[in-house]
Structure 1
Amino acid sequence: MPVKDDTKDRERTAERLLTASTKNWFDPLTEIDWEAPLLPDAFFIDEERCTLYGTPMWDRLGPQQRIDLSRHEVACTASVGIWVEVILMQLLVRHVYDQDMTSRHVQYAFTEIADECRHSTMFGSMITKFECPNYGPGRHAHALGRFLKTVASGVQPFAAALIAEEILDAMQREMMRNETLQPLVRDVARIHVIEEARHVRYAREEVARRMPNLNRAQRAMCRLLIARVAHVTARNLIHPGVYAAVGLDPRAAAREAWTNPHRSRALQDWGRRLVGFYEENGLMGGPGLALWRRSGLVAPDYRPGKSTNGG
């Protein structure tokens, strides 16, 4: 298959994103009132999106324990967000290393890296404000992230980056619109959603440009890689330590959370747009489907729809 030269299209995309970046960017250290006290009775995420909502274990929790669990779950997700952004920054640096540093495509990559630095600082400040630990993704996932950031190349970094970007984006769009939540949570979500929209556009267009140029073996490898990333990311959004923080048995609570239909519905809602994009670009299928089903981001009986880029 001949490789299509999309340089001009890529440069136009980068030019638009650079222009948007000059108009809508935020310094979270000054944009957010970090000194404002947290509201004593407000949840940090919609209680129906808490991983234990609707379970017998949830029913046994008192009102303050439920709010505290929401606080720890949001902090944990933010710590995983930092982990993902650190990986993405390294992937972007590797991506531009052999390219024309004066191109708009590369200059937007540098702009996105700067955005991700601010986002990581913002998430870290929020975790500190919540008085929660830096849960992170867990030791095994941390090691797999090291592998990904070292070996991923071509379309793989952009396809893989979309997983966490789109899941967090869908989650935070809900959070920023929910006026009953902590104002700090809504402020952080708003900033991240506005700036992350550009990052998603950058990655999506790169995936759409590159996928038609892959041969069958490269497609299969990319499908399997992103399936593994989806599985690891979704399974590590919430560390069992969040349950211990509110007085629960962490192993028992984690088991109950993963069999909770409310939790499954949340993950599938947050992953729906991402999965649709992957289907359109031939990235769902093959042996990796078992990983997708175990991730919770699709239904247990999921079958990909007809793709525009099958093979």
Structure 2
Amino acid sequence: MPTTHGDTTERERVAERLLAASHAHAFDPITDVDWDAPLVDGAFFLPEHRVSLYGTPTWERMSERQRIDLSRHEVASMASVGIWFEVVLMQLLVRHVYDRPLTSRHVQYAFMEIAEECRHSTMFGRLIDKLECPEYGPGRYAHTAARAMKTFGSGVQAFAMALIAEEVLDTMQREMMADETLQPITRRTARIHVVEEARHVRYARDEVARGAPHMSAAERAITRLALARAAHIIATRLIHPDVYAAVGLDPIVARRVARANPHRRETLGHWSKRLIAFYDEHGLLGGPGLRLWRASGLMGRQI
């Protein structure tokens, strides 16, 4: 990746603070999560009003057991997509530091973030096992499309792209960790991810804010379109259609109902509200990509 613009000294200060925070607030998901604790009977895994079919006629026809099971499978689906995106992000970070001074705090924090993302991926893998769900993943199209994303993404585009998954999952999990009615294991894993991911968001936001003012008109146009495409791919793959089949629903019909569900659009808009505001502030929204943003649901009711 080319060197981003801005004050190198301030960049080093940011990285130094993030390294200190990582040292003070680090987790080991192998020992800091009670993987042997039994699941709580009758407790949702995701806030009920955030489940994709909530508020639809299909939801009204479902039994309470089906609703809880759907929340379990949706958490597993989002965890598997989280692993996929973290693998992409780790590759972007490795490429970012390849030609940079290895003794700089900026590079050292990138190594720290890669280590934390490895632990998060391990944690999400264990969570999927604990929930006794399949490894849903993002699907073949997204898996293939990400090869270009992780190979050619650089500079502002790469860090802004990282924020799509980081900001959306962060907002979702902040709500989960505060909801005492949910399964303890999903609350605990959400808290660990939120605490450590807050540093990753700060690192990426700093790089975007530092580099965005120096982009050419052509770079900005390309970045806007690339971000819109990435946002559409990620948002429409969070819930794999097989989660509906797992609870006895027709996956084609249920997916269509979920995508048309105004509650679902409101949820996606809520999860991405900070991201949209940040992108707008730095001129990363606009042009032909707005159609993809609206189709992704991440702009909520902003049609």
Task: Tell me the TM-score range normalised by the shorter chain.
Answer: over 0.9
Rounded Cα–Cα distance in structure 1 between residues aligned with 2:19 and 2:6: 22
Structure 2 residue runs of 5 or longer lacking an equivalent are none
Contact in 1 for aligned 2:244/2:254 (Cα 8 Å): yes
Any idea what the Cα deviations from partners look like across 1:142-197, whole Å, max 9, x if unmatched? 11111100111111110000000000000000000000000000000000000000
Q: Is the 8 A contact 1:79 1:123 kept in 2?
A: yes
**Letter aligned with residue 247 of structure 2:** V
Quick one: which amino acid aligns to residue 205 of structure 1? D
Structure 2: which amino acid aligns with 1:204? Answer: R
Match of 2:107 in 1: 106
CA distance in 1 between partners of 2:129 and 2:227 (Å): 31
8 Å contact from structure 1 (residues 34, 129) kept in 2 = yes
Match of 2:148 in 1: 147
Kindly indicate whether residue 198 of structure 2 is the aligned counterpart of residue 222 of structure 1: no
Aligned residues: 300
Aligned position for 2:294: 293
SS of residue paired to 2:218: helix
CA shift, 1:40, in A, is 1.1
Aligned match of 1:178: 179
The one-character-per-residue Cα deviations of 1:82-134 (angstroms, maximum 9, x if unpaired) are 00000000000000001111110000000000000000000000000000000
Residues 4, 226 of structure 1: CA spacing in aligned structure 2 closer, same or farther, 3 A cutoff? closer
Q: 1:301 to 1:190 in 2, by over 3 A?
A: closer
Q: Is the CA contact 1:243–1:249 (under 8 Å) kept in the aligned structure 2? A: yes
Cα separation, 1, equivalents of 2:301 and 2:180? 33
Instruction: Please tell me whether residue 164 in structure 1 is matched to residue 142 in structure 2.
Output: no
Note the C-alpha offset of 1:299: 3.9
Q: Which moved more, 1:174-183 or 1:55-64?
A: 55-64
How far apart are 1:4 and its partner, in Å?
4.9
Q: What one-letter code is carried by the residue in structure 2 that aligns with 1:297?
A: L
The Cα shift of 1:237 comes to 0.4
1:18-41: CA deviation from partner (whole Å, max 9, x where unpaired): 010000010010001000000111
SS of equivalent residue, structure 1 residue 39:
coil
Task: Give the conservation status (yes or no) of the 8 Å contact 2:236–2:296.
Answer: yes
Please give the TM-score of this superposition, normalised by the length of structure 1.
Answer: 0.95
- CA distance in 2: counterparts of 1:159 and 1:299, whole angstroms: 20
1:290 deviation in Å? 0.4
Q: The residue matched to 1:155 in structure 2 has which SS?
A: helix
Q: What is the distance in 2 between the residues matched to 1:219 and 1:262?
A: 32
Aligned residue type for 2:127: M
Residues 267-286 of structure 1 correspond to what in structure 2 (within 5 A)?
267-286=268-287
CA distance in 2 between partners of 1:192 and 1:63 (Å) = 28
- TM-score between both structures, scaled by the size of structure 2: 0.98
Q: Secondary structure at the match of 1:28?
A: coil
**AA matched with 1:178:** D
Contact kept? 2:50, 2:264, Cα under 8 Å: yes
Matched letter for residue 182 of structure 1: Q
Moved beyond 2 Å, runs of 4+: 299-302
- Shift in Å at residue 285 of structure 1? 0.5
CA separation of 1:25 and 1:82: change in aligned 2, threshold 3 A:
same
Q: Partners in 1 of 2:249 and 2:196 — Cα distance?
A: 36
Alpha-carbon distance, 1:72 to partner: 0.1
Secondary structure at the counterpart of residue 31 of structure 1 = coil
Counterpart-to-counterpart distance in 2, 1:290 and 1:298: 10
